[in-house]
Amino acid sequence: MKWFCVIFFGAIGLVNIVANLREARRLSRKKVSVCPGVITSAELESAKGFGKARHLLIHSPKIGYSYVIDGAERQGSRISHMRRSSSDARDFSKLLGRFSPGTGVTVYYDESDPAECWLIDPRKFVKFHLLVSAGMLLFSVVMIAFFWLVMSS
């Protein structure tokens, strides 16, 4: 049983650490350029939850914006690299106020694929993924040590 716990928490930790380190590396290498854009729409999208949470409404911001690259007008809808949703609509009231239609914004886009764009620089999430990796390493070590000590006594 002791070895099962070591392998189980080691595998969980390893998978999460590798995935987050790969994402941090991918984001840090991304060639991102900026251009001006304009918010075209801002609303709160709501959908029923699923599973045990099907009685809840899950809200997420839906922001539309336009920007021009090399003379071609493009449309975007991603705010950031991470998707956000909440069961509390108030979580997004400030965000929707910040991105009201007609507001000028800075659009970050991938140089190799200008259709991939965001309103928040995706490279800002490199630290987040590194912190998650460090947290998972700490969690795995603590859990392995805990079960090793408990099972040994």
Say whether 33 sits in a helix, a strand or coil: strand
Tokens representing residue 6 in the block: 């070591």
Q: Are 12 and 4 in contact (CB under 8 A)?
A: no
What ranges in the chain are assigned the alpha helix state H?
A: 2-29, 93-98, 126-152
Query: Residues 36-78: pLDDT tens digits?
Result: 999 999 988 888 877 776 778 888 889 999 999 989 999 999 8
Q: What is the pLDDT, as a whole number, of residue 101?
A: 93
19: which residues sit within 8 A by CB, 6+ positions away?
none
Would you state the pLDDT for residue 133? 95
Predicted local confidence at residue 11, as pLDDT: 92
Predicted local distance difference test score (pLDDT) of residue 64: 94
Alpha helix locations (H) across 30-125? 93-98
User: Can you list the residues of the chain whose pLDDT is less than 70?
Assistant: 53
Q: CA-CA distance, 86 to 38, in Å (whole number)?
A: 25
Q: With contact defined as beta carbons under 8 Å apart, do 119 and 65 qualify?
A: yes
